[in-house]
Amino acid sequence: MHTTVQRALLAVILAAMCAIANAGTPAESAQRTVRFADLDLTHPAGVAVLHQRIRAAAQEVCQPLSEHDLVMLAASRSCVTDAIARAVKDVNAPALARSSQRKTELIVLAGR
Q: Residue 28: which of 71, 73, 75 has the closest Cα?
A: 75
Residue 105 has pLDDT above 70, yes or no: no
Question: Which region, left, alpha or beta, applies to residue 111 given φ > 0 means left and ψ of -120 to 50 means alpha?
Answer: left
Report how far residue 55's alpha carbon sits from residue 1's, in angstroms, rounded to the nearest whole number.
Answer: 49
Task: For residue 32, count CB atoms less than 10 angstroms from its CB and return exposed for 0-12, middle for 13-18, buried for 19 or more.
Answer: middle
The 10s digit of each residue's pLDDT in 58-99 is 988 888 766 667 778 788 888 888 889 999 999 888 998 888
